[in-house]
Structure 1
Amino acid sequence: MDAITRMRCFIQVVDSKGFSAAAREMGRSKALVSKYVGELEDELGVRLLNRTTRQVSLTEVGQVYYKEAVEILQRIDDLQASVQSSHKEVRGRLRVSAPRSMGDDMLNEAMVEFLVKYPEIVLDLRLEDRFVDLVEEGFDLAVRVTQLDDSSLIARKIATFSTVVCATPEVIEKYGEPKVPADLVSRPCVIDTNYRFKQNWAFSVDGERVSVAVKGPLEVNSAAAAREAGLRGLGFVRTPLFFVYHDIRKGNLKAVLEPYSESQLGIHAVYPHRRHLSAKVRALVDFLVEWFAARPTC
C-alpha cells in the first residue's frame, strides 16, 4: 500500500468525521480504512487521530499533518488534471453559483459567450445572493465577489475591481459632497448587506484602513436594489464600480471620495478543497479571466 493512498484515507476520515462515513465515501470497508490509517500512524511513529466510540478528532500533530497532506494531494491532483485535461473535450453539465446582481448586470453576457465557444457544455447557472455550500449542494464552481476566509475552498482570482461611493447630483447638492470618509456619518446611505462589514464602510486614509459607521433609509441584501435606491435619490451608495459604471458615465450618478477608495478587491472562482479542476471547469475559469481582462470596469 503506497503512502498516497494511506494519506487519502486519513484525509477522508477527517473530512467525513469518522471511519464509517469515510468508508462509504471511498467505497471501501471500514476495517480497511482503519487499517490504512493505522499503517500511516505506524509509519510516521505518531498518533494522528484521537478515537472514541462515537467520533474521531485530530491530535495536535495530526492537525499539522492534515494541513500539509491536503496541500500535497491538491498539487498532485491538479498536476494530473492538467495533463488529462489537455486530452479531454470540454463538454458535460456545469453547475455554477454566482451573485444575482453580478449575473444580471454582466456575468450573463460572459456565460452566453462561453456557451457559444463550448457548445457541448450544458450550463446550470444559479444566481442568488447567498454563499452556497459547494459540496453539499453539488456545485462545480462559484463566482464570489468578496474576501475569502473559508480555507476548505480553493480560489483563483479571475479579476480585480474597485468599489465606489456614489449618489445622484441632486442628493449631493442637497446634503453636500463629502470631502472625507467621516462626512458620511451625517449623510443618508443605502447599505448593501451583502458586504462583509455591512454598515461599516472601509476606506484608505494615509495608507491606513479606516472604518466609518453609516446609516440610512434602506438596508438590503441586493446590489441591484441598492443601485436602484441610489438612482432614486435615497442616499449615498457603495457598490462595485462595474455595477454603476454606465450610470456614472451618463451622469445619473456621481462618484465621491475617490482618493480614499480601498485597494482593488477580487472576483474569485472557487471550488471545493482537493477537487481537481476538470476540463470543463478549467475552461470556464480560463475563459472568465480573459473575458474580465477585456472589460474597462474591472
Structure 2
Amino acid sequence: MDLNALVDFNLVATHGGFGRASRAGRRSKATLSRRVADLEEQLGVRLIERSAKGLELTDAGRQLLSRTAGPMGEVVDALTAAREGNGQVTGRLRVAAPILFSQLAMGRHCAEFHRLYPGVTVEVVGDDRVVDLVEEQFDVAIRPNPRPDTTLVGRSFARDQLVVVAAPSIPMPRRSRTPVRVPAVVNAFRDGETWPIDGKGLTLEPVPVLRLSSMLMLRDAAIAGAGVAQVPRSIVWDQIAKGALVQWGATDGKEVDLWVLHTSRRLASPKVKAFVDFMSSRYPDGNLVLTG
C-alpha cells in the first residue's frame, strides 16, 4: 500500500474536501484526487462520494479514517521531526481538558507554552467527556483519575482533593457517631451522597438548599453563606487563606490526580513530548492551585 496515498486520504477526510486539504497540505487538488483514487483501487472499495452537498465519506471511508487518523498523524509528525531535525517543536497541538481546569489554568499555560515554542499553535477544547483521542483527533488529553487504558500513556502532574467548606457564619458540627444533617449547596448531577470528613469522626448528610452544575457556582454560593459545599481545594485555597471560607476538612477518599495523556510512547511527536514536560513543570510541589 502506498503510504503517501493513505496520508493524503487522511488529509482530505480530516479537512472535509480537496480544496481545504490542498491549502492545508500544500499539494495540488489533482495530486490529492489521484492518490485517493489509487488508494480506493488498491482496497477495492469506494472511500469518498462527491454529492451536491460536497464530499462525504462512505462507511468504509469513515472506518478507515477512525483507525488510521491517529497513527498516521504520528507518522507524519515523526517524519517531519526527522526531516527538520530533533528539537524542532512545531505544528498544531490539539488538547482536550476538563472545563474547570481549562477556564482557570489553560489560558496562562498556553500563553507560556507558546512563548517557549512559538512554532506550535495550541488548540484547547474544554470538555468533561472522556474524549477518544484518535477518533476525535486530539494530540493530548488532560484527565482527572483516568481509568487504566493500555492505549494511552502519560504522566501525573498535579494532585487535588475535595474539601468541605462553609462561610464563617455557619458553625461546624461536633463529632458524631451518626451522619449530621447540614444545609448544603450541592452538585446538580449527584444526589444521595454523604460526606465523611477525614480524621474528624464526622460524616455530613447534605440537605440541598441549592443544586448547581458548576464548581465555581458552588464555591461562590458557599462564600455567600448559602450552605456547606464540597469543592476542590485548588479553587478555594485563596478564599480559605483570606477567611472568606472555613475548611471543615478533606473528604475521605476523594483525592484527585491530574494526568496529561497521549496515544503513543514510541512515536510521540516533539510537540507532544514538549507539552507533557511543560505541564509536569507547572506544579513543582505536585499541588494543584487554581485562581479565578
For normalisation by structure 1, the TM-score amounts to 0.60
Q: Report whether the alignment pairs 1:51 with 2:50.
A: yes
- Determine the structure 1 residue equivalent to 2:162: 164
Query: CA–CA distance in 1 between the matches of 2:218 and 2:76?
Result: 42
Q: Report whether the alignment pairs 1:42 with 2:41.
A: yes
- Determine the structure 2 residue equivalent to 1:273: none
**Which of these residues, 227, 231, 242, is aligned with residue 239 of structure 1?**
231
- CA 203–49 in structure 1, closer or farther in 2 if over 3 Å, else same: farther
**Which of these residues, 158, 183, 186, is aligned with residue 187 of structure 1?**
183
1:246-276 Cα shifts (integer Å, max 9, x gaps) = 66688822236424x3x63535479xxxxx8
CA RMSD of aligned residues (A): 5.1
Say how many residue pairs are matched: 256
Q: Report whether the alignment pairs 1:283 with 2:274.
A: yes
- Determine the structure 1 residue equivalent to 2:59: 60
- Determine the structure 1 residue equivalent to 2:140: 155
Query: CA–CA distance in 2 between the matches of 1:27 and 1:46?
Result: 27
Q: Deviation of residue 39 (structure 1)?
A: 0.3
CA contact (8 A) 1:200 1:214 kept: no
Q: Deviation of residue 30 (structure 1)?
A: 3.1
1:112-170 Cα shifts (integer Å, max 9, x gaps) = 9x68xx976669xxxxxxxxxxxxxx951438584432542222445354451412265
Q: Deviation of residue 38 (structure 1)?
A: 0.7
Say which SS state the counterpart of residue 56 (structure 1) adopts. Answer: strand
Say which SS state the counterpart of residue 139 (structure 2) adopts. Answer: strand
Q: Deviation of residue 245 (structure 1)?
A: 4.3
Query: CA–CA distance in 2 between the matches of 1:102 and 1:233?
Result: 25
CA contact (8 A) 2:97 2:128 kept: no
Say which SS state the counterpart of residue 37 (structure 1) adopts. Answer: helix
- CA 154–237 in structure 1, closer or farther in 2 if over 3 Å, else same: farther
Query: CA–CA distance in 1 between the matches of 2:121 and 2:194?
Result: 36
1:171-190 Cα shifts (integer Å, max 9, x gaps) = 3647999977xx88x73315
Query: CA–CA distance in 1 between the matches of 2:178 and 2:110?
Result: 40
- CA 286–203 in structure 1, closer or farther in 2 if over 3 Å, else same: farther
1:29-62 Cα shifts (integer Å, max 9, x gaps) = 4333222111001112222223324333333332
Say which SS state the counterpart of residue 188 (structure 1) adopts. Answer: strand
Q: Report whether the alignment pairs 1:86 with 2:86.
A: yes
Residue 190 of structure 2 aligns with an amino acid whose one-letter code is N
CA contact (8 A) 1:78 1:277 kept: yes
Q: Deviation of residue 286 (structure 1)?
A: 0.8
- CA 122–240 in structure 1, closer or farther in 2 if over 3 Å, else same: farther
- CA 204–190 in structure 1, closer or farther in 2 if over 3 Å, else same: closer
Residue 248 of structure 2 aligns with an amino acid whose one-letter code is K
Say which SS state the counterpart of residue 187 (structure 1) adopts. Answer: strand
Structure whose residues are more often helix by fraction: 1
Equivalent positions of 1:220-235 (< 5 A) are 221=214, 223=216, 226-235=218-227
- CA 25–228 in structure 1, closer or farther in 2 if over 3 Å, else same: same
Unaligned segments of structure 2, at least 5 residues:
143-155, 196-204, 263-267
Query: CA–CA distance in 2 between the matches of 1:159 and 1:65?
Result: 34
Query: CA–CA distance in 2 between the matches of 1:38 and 1:202?
Result: 58
Query: CA–CA distance in 2 between the matches of 1:110 and 1:220?
Result: 25
- CA 213–243 in structure 1, closer or farther in 2 if over 3 Å, else same: same
1:178-218 Cα shifts (integer Å, max 9, x gaps) = 977xx88x733155xxxxxx53369799xxxxxx9985447
Moved more, 38-47 or 142-151: 142-151
Query: CA–CA distance in 1 between the matches of 2:231 and 2:74?
Result: 36
Say which SS state the counterpart of residue 49 (structure 2) adopts. Answer: strand
